[in-house]
Structure 1
Amino acid sequence: MIAFIYLSRRILWVQKCVAVWIACALLTGCWDSREIDNLSIIQGVAIDTDQQDMLELTYQHLIAQKSKKNMYSNVTTFNKNSIQTASREQAKLVSRAPLYSFIRLILISDQALQKTRIDQLLDTFTRSYKPSRKSLVMIVKGSAKEALNKIGKHKEIPSIDLEALAKNSDFNSKIPHKITLGEISTHISQGADFVIQCLETNEGNHFSGAALVSGKTKKLANWLDEEEVIGINWMLGKTRGSIIKTEDPKSEQSMVFEVEDAHSKLIPHLNGQDLSFTVRIKTNIKLNENLDIYADFLKEPFIRTAKEAAQEEIKQTVSQSLNTLQKKMRSDVVGFGTKVKVNYPAYWDRVKENWQDTFSQIPIDVQAEVQIDRTGAYTKGEGA
């Protein structure tokens, strides 16, 4: 009996000790917490090269404060050939240790990307700093530092404003789809060509076409204008929310459609050793604007004419982009090679080393199928 009482007290004592230990662990706070007043959070990075080919890095520090509105400060450092070394130079200039985990945006000047491979410019961000793989990357025509210094139209911190601006590709197909650090890493590992959003800084930051990066050299290869970007977005199926502007062939008045849904397929065909492709685009659109006040939007002739005009506009835009990519740039940024690799692996093994040459010669048939869901019309009496 005495032994049982002793054992019960012993168990109760152990339980109390465990409870006290758990309470201490939970109530003492995070062991590695840092005061917000001591943080300098890096929001954006701009990479340039100066006239002596020195790497010029500009870091946008978000200075978090308890009692005041968040402020930011740009700090510029230099080094001959190392991003990591240049970043450590900040210790001479700022008192707060920089925190790199929340980088939203990396801007690279066109001059820097012409001289240095993109995987070398981004290596330290993927290897050491470990920001989110969703951090955005953009190319700047001119000075990347200047872009990071310009306040946006809504007076946001520049890096935050540019991050929001990148998402507008969902509303305007002239803007290439945003690309992240993780997606660029994938393209680099695959040796594939790819496009990046391009910024210009005259009269404020704004998008202007796209930069094409070579999968072989990993450097800036060419520029794409806005019309070529539209064609690429159609082939990628990334035009939802954008518009199609065309003309009624009878009235010669403008019609503007909004893309409500869009899908694309790249279909390879191999006949012996002859490779060809079909680009099949299907889209649902609605009529947002028509300047022909006499058009009868509910009648089949108008629906048919409008559908044919929209289909022709899509086919023409895509064909022009393909002509540029195949004949002028010899660059597959849409993924035709991937389709060949998946569907015809033996053929791919024979052509992959010279895919640029093969891609430039293959015939590609563009097909567009349009469904007009709404015209915004109403029968007589409904709008009265």
Structure 2
Amino acid sequence: MKQTYNHVQFILVFLSVLLLFPLAGCWSSHEIEEQSLGVGMAFDKAKESMIEKELDEQGEGYAKKNLITSTYQLITPQVASSTTKQGGSQQKSYVNVSETGDSAFQMVRELSLRSDTPLISHHMKVIVIGEALARSYSLERLVNQNLRDNDLRPSCLVLISKGRASDTLESKTAGEIPSFRLYGMLDNTYRTTRILPPMSLIKLESKFQSGSSFLLQNVLSANGEIKFAGAAIIKGKTNKMIGFLNEEELEGLTWITGKGRGGLVKSFDKKTGQPIAYEIESMKSHIKPHVKGNNISFDVHIESEGRLSENWVVSGNPSENQFLQKAQKTSEKEVKHLVRNVVEKMQKEYQVDVAGFGKQLRIKHPRVWMRVKENWDQTFSEVPINYHVKLTIKDYGMSGSNK
């Protein structure tokens, strides 16, 4: 009996010792204070830094072709410590480091020769690609390493810059981290129809696989200031950028897709020329394909409910049905103009479908789609499209009349 008791006691002690091992944490881990946190990346056409030029001249650089300049936005222990001590009022909260070469993976590893804190990419927020580079190289090749890298989260967002992408990772505001600013601005889709739904790396991969043309949010930068301004058009067959939609054209595309969460439509009263602002509370769109023999056509049905948020027409009473109907018709006319304008740009200038017409044809008429999918962008450029827009003003604000 005593022997059995001792045996049980030994097992319990042994198990207790084993339980101590998980409490030790990750044996192969590194302290956060010893890491450089990568939060943003920018890819541009090659532009060597001074230190890289000097090394190349001395023959100390590595074998490469100077095709791409990668800029990495880092939060380093030194920056974080300095910012904390100075209250964040003077010191930048980030540091940007650039490397030029022809291999994205090799450029990342080259940073290890310039810093004692290794780069980790678990917190990477955005990847910005410069216009010149996006026109010259397939986006699939440019982000190939990022898609394969297990350290990089597939939720990282991708943007296009009209100008050098590295400029979008600069800020004049003390304490601000530009990558976080870009990431946060994409949450403003509920306030405007001029921001695309965020395009993450994993969504971008699906676009590459589908072979369809698509859009990426465009960002402008100047003197540390940035602004979202339209969208870049990516051709499906080449995955290269071929042009831009401006802000108004992006508005029209949002109405076609029905993916807007908020925003406004500004129109002008025909009689007085004064502005009327229709605020969007809901939006939905339905693209209906029609097939007759070899002929394909589409009907786009757009519906929205909203409120009269601003009215400069002093002769009209917003509470009167006649005035509301007039304001609705004026706003509907403006939406039709936006839609026609962007469809003409897609069909006539760029000959690409970035609004999802082909997707609806594939769903409703799969056999027809199999016949036309290889040259769909070209076919789409000649397809007739009709529009049906219905806006309903349900609310006209606190003011019942203007005097």
Distance 1:363 1:319 in 2: 11
In structure 2, the partner of 1:17 is 14
Matched, 1:260 2:270: no
What is the alpha-carbon distance in structure 2 between the residues aligned to residue 136 and residue 27 of structure 1?
Answer: 36
The answer to whether residue 270 in structure 2 is matched with residue 249 in structure 1 is yes
Alignment RMSD:
2.1
Aligned residue number for residue 39 of structure 2 = 43
SS in 1 for 2:134: helix
Q: Deviations over 1:198-226 (max 9, x none)?
A: 12222422222211111101111111111
Determine if contact 1:152/1:205 at 8 Å carries over to the other structure.
no
> Does the 8 A contact of 2:288 with 2:298 survive in 1?
yes
CA distance in 2: counterparts of 1:151 and 1:377, whole angstroms: 40
> Is 1:161 the counterpart of 2:181 in the alignment?
yes
Change (3 A) 1:153 1:173: farther
1:185 correspondence with 2:205: yes
Contact 2:69 2:100 in 1 (8 A): yes
Which aligned pairs between 1:330-349 and structure 2 lie closer than 5 A? 330-349=351-370
Task: Give the Cα–Cα distance (whole angstroms) in 2 for the partners of residues 359 and 226 of structure 1.
Answer: 23
Equivalent residue number for residue 30 of structure 2: 34
Q: C-alpha distance in 2, partners of 1:91/1:104?
A: 21
- Separation in 1, partners of 2:66, 2:345: 32
Indicate conservation of the 8 Å contact 1:48/1:143, yes or no. Answer: yes
Change (3 A) 1:295 1:103: same
Q: Distance in 1 between matches of 2:222 and 2:74?
A: 24
Over 3 Å counting, the alpha-carbon distance change for 1:154 and 1:241 in structure 2 is farther
Report the CA distance shift for 1:155/1:286 in structure 2 as closer, same or farther (over 3 A).
farther
Alignment of 1:130-149 (within 5 A): 130-148=151-169
Q: Please state how far the C-alpha of 1:26 moved relative to its aligned partner.
A: 4.1
- Cα contact 2:189–2:261 (8 A) shared by 1: no
Aligned residue number for residue 3 of structure 2? 6
1:111 aligns with 2:124: no
Which one of 374, 380, 388 corresponds to residue 359 of structure 1? Answer: 380
Percent of aligned positions with the same letter in both sequences?
A: 29
Whether the 8 Å contact between 1:40 and 1:97 is mirrored in structure 2 is: yes
Tell me which residue corresponds to 2:293: 272
SS at match of 2:37: strand
Find the aligned partners of 1:243 and 1:78 in 2 and give their Cα distance: 43
**TM-score, normalised on structure 1?**
0.91
* CA–CA distance in structure 1, aligned partners of residues 226 and 81 of structure 2: 31
Q: Structure 1, residues 295-327: CA drift from partner, whole Å, max 9, x if none?
A: 211111011111111111111111111111111
State the match for 2:75 in structure 1: 62
Residue 281 of structure 1 and its aligned partner are, at CA, apart by: 1.1
Q: Which amino acid in the other structure matches residue 373 of structure 1?
A: K
What is the letter of the counterpart of residue 116 of structure 2?
S
TM-score w.r.t. length of structure 2: 0.87
Alignment coverage as a number of residue pairs: 375
User: For residues 36 and 356 of structure 1, what CA distance do their matches in structure 2 show?
Assistant: 49
Give CA-to-partner distance per residue, 1:252-296, whole Å, 9 cap, x none: 321112111111111111123221111111111111111123321
Q: Deviation at 1:159?
A: 1.2
In the TM superposition, what is the alpha-carbon distance from 1:355 to its structure 2 partner? Answer: 0.9
- Residue 317 of structure 2 contacts residue 400 of structure 2 at CA under 8 Å; is this kept in 1? no
Contact 2:352 2:378 survives alignment (8 Å):
no
What does the per-residue CA deviation read over 1:21-80, in whole Å, with 9 as the maximum and x for residues that have no partner?
A: 22x13432333332121010101111111268521111111114685546321111111x
Q: Is the 8 A contact 1:61 1:73 kept in 2?
A: yes
Partner of 2:196: 176
